Amino acid sequence: MNEQLEILRHSTAHIMAQAVSMLFPQTKFGIGPAISDGFYYDFDLPVPLSPEQLSEIEKKMQSIIKANLVFEQTMMEKSKAIDFFSQKEERYKIEIIQDIPDDEVSIYQQGDFIDLCRGPHIKSTGMIKAFKLLSIAGAYWRGDEKNSMLTRIYGTAFETTEELEKYLYQIEEAKKRDHRKLGKELGIFQVYDEAGPGLIYYHPKGAIVREEICRFLRLEHAKREYLEVVTPNIARVDLWKTSGHYDFYRENMYFMNVDNMEYVLKPMNCPGHILIYKSHTRSYRDLPLRLFELGTVYRHERSGVLHGLLRVRGFTQDDAHIFCMREQLKDEIQQVLDFIINTLVSFGFKEYEIYLSTRPEKYTGSDEIWDMATSALEMSLKEKGLPYQIDPGEGVFYGPKIDIKLKDALSRTWQGPTIQVDFNLPERFNVTYVGQDGKEHQPVMIHRVVLGSLERFMGALIEHYAGAFPVWLSPIQVLVATITEKHKQYGEYVQNQLRANQIRCDMDSRNEKIGFKIREAQLQKLPYVLILGDNEEQNKTVSIRKRGGKDLGQMTIEDFISVVSTEIREKNVDI
């Protein structure tokens, strides 16, 4: 978001706050920042607010905009500002002021509305041309569930009406693509209250899609000489103390007592892979050693942030750890980058953004090691000619990382692949190899995922394709639909031919009109419908209706099988 748009949106948030103060005079005010796709403001309202009342607030905002009120800034001594907002009983503003280290604070006023704000703002309210209030949510003051629950109103603003309309269209399209809605409608997955939040149950169709992804990953990893391993879901707490997760990640871990000993439900796969590496002495000739696992992990997430497949408590990663010598590090990183980009394209994600995440506030290891790891990642990106942005302080506690965010059909970004360089865990676990000189040396460890969480990737995949998966991923690739029940026997013959060629199919031989069957298949987003009647049975052919309503005419069964098998083999991903 450019600075001008950020100022515009922040100013619109103040106009919204003024409108709310006029409609609900007893309101107390929290904060109202600009965000990546709009703005919000948190209110302590005297009465509950319904979504229908957003239009009232918008009307009042329009009158404020029409009045063309000037945004005026004044500086106020901190003590006087506390007195001023105390008279208004604005406890949230007082709390903010008390945390400001300066002797003066910035106050903005438009008309009769006065707010604590450092700005900047646009010149006057009349400069707002295109805005829309979007939704209402609850939000704890300062994100702490021990504090008051406030009412958060989300909105957006753009410089032109055309930009706003485009954005609103994308919102509506995003609603249609919501993976939670489609996941249930298409029989892919559900979350059950009886089992607990953040835990995914894949239905048969979802299990097929997931297994196709796993099959692809296993094949591609084998091509690149990764060795697949499997590690347990629990381990003694001592392992996590050695790794540093106990100190740096404890609030996200699940603990349990087994035989009077403390165990952890694994949040990461890396310590298990280190144990496998250390199972016997390694030589420089063994390196690089690439260990891969479709490993299921469990992390404690607050219930308020859980979201379908995107934020869960149990998920599976296509996780790998590469143990290599320092002189092999750059080549390994570059090979992983190639692997990631080729895989994303294979699933239809042709655009992405790359971020280099640097040292966080809480970290382990020396600054020298961190600088060395960061430099290796940055040099690899530069040599591959890949554009990237620095994401300050977003590395993990044991090392810097490359984050790759894939873009979907609506140009939204999704977190996916990561590459992390780690000198710290090999040191903490005393991981070594015997070099050419016969002495022990410490290898470098690369943590990497190609797709990331399979759950999150499935969510992105559903929304990218709006549930209409490419043929190779579709749970049901072909529906055999008979015109009448008397064609059922021929339908079974066609179905058996398809299944003999590993084409996933189903048959609809119900006593229903063929138009009804086709419409149901369209709602289920099936790639192909084969219509069978007297003519098709007599000529041993099939009439083909492709997803989207395109009529492909008649083909022999053999020719149709050849067409579909080629599409599956080539993994056509065009939307």
Residue 529 belongs to domain with CATH number: 3.40.50.800
| Domain C-terminal end among 169, 197, 220 | 169
Question: Does the residue 400 lie in any domain?
Answer: no
> What positions carry a catalytic annotation?
270, 299, 317, 319, 321, 401, 447
CATH number at residue 154: 3.30.980.10
113 in the same domain as 142: yes
212 in the same domain as 328: yes
Domain count for the chain, please give it. 3
210 in the same domain as 68: no
User: Which residue type occupies 244?
Assistant: G
Beta strand 289-298 pairing with 227-228: parallel
Question: Does the residue 386 lie in any domain?
Answer: no
Question: Does the residue 412 lie in any domain?
Answer: no
- Give 68-79 pLDDT, tens digit per residue: 999 999 999 999
190 in the same domain as 50: no
219 in the same domain as 87: no
Peptide bond into 527 cis (omega under 30): no
| Neighbour-count burial for 364-388, b at 16+ CB within 10 Å, e otherwise | bbeeebbebbbebbbebbeeeeeeb
Mean pLDDT across the stretch 428-444?
A: 96
Question: Does the residue 238 lie in any domain?
Answer: yes
Question: Does the residue 401 lie in any domain?
Answer: no
How far is Cα 265 from Cα 228, in angstroms, rounded to an integer?
A: 21
| pLDDT of residue 394 exceeding 90 | no
The Cα-based distances of 429 to 143, 270, 273, 457 in angstroms read 36, 11, 11, 32
User: Residue 501 sits in which domain range?
Assistant: 478-570
Give yes or no for a contact between 357 and 395, defined as CB atoms under 8 angstroms apart: yes
pLDDT at 473 (0 to 100):
96
- Residue 211: CB atoms within 10 Å: 12
224 in the same domain as 159: no
427 in the same domain as 305: yes
pLDDT at 572 (0 to 100):
80
460 in the same domain as 484: no
452 in the same domain as 320: yes
pLDDT at 1 (0 to 100):
64
| pLDDT of residue 575 exceeding 70 | no
pLDDT at 574 (0 to 100):
65
pLDDT at 423 (0 to 100):
87
Q: How much is the pTM?
A: 0.85
CATH number at residue 433: 3.30.930.10
- Give 354-375 pLDDT, tens digit per residue: 999 999 888 888 888 888 889 9
Question: Does the residue 361 lie in any domain?
Answer: no
- Residue 503: CB atoms within 10 Å: 19
- Give 181-229 pLDDT, tens digit per residue: 999 999 999 999 999 999 999 999 999 999 999 999 999 999 999 999 9
pLDDT at 145 (0 to 100):
82
Percent of the chain with pLDDT over 70: 99
The CA-based angle 92-52-181, given to 5 degrees, is 95
263 in the same domain as 227: yes
Question: Does the residue 448 lie in any domain?
Answer: yes
| pLDDT of residue 537 exceeding 60 | yes
Helix residue ranges, H only, 138-280 = 161-177, 179-185, 204-223, 237-243, 245-248, 270-277
Contacts of residue 25, defined as CB under 8 A and 6 or more positions apart, other chains included, come to none
165 in the same domain as 200: no
Question: Does the residue 65 lie in any domain?
Answer: yes
Give yes or no for a contact between 4 and 160, defined as CB atoms under 8 angstroms apart: no
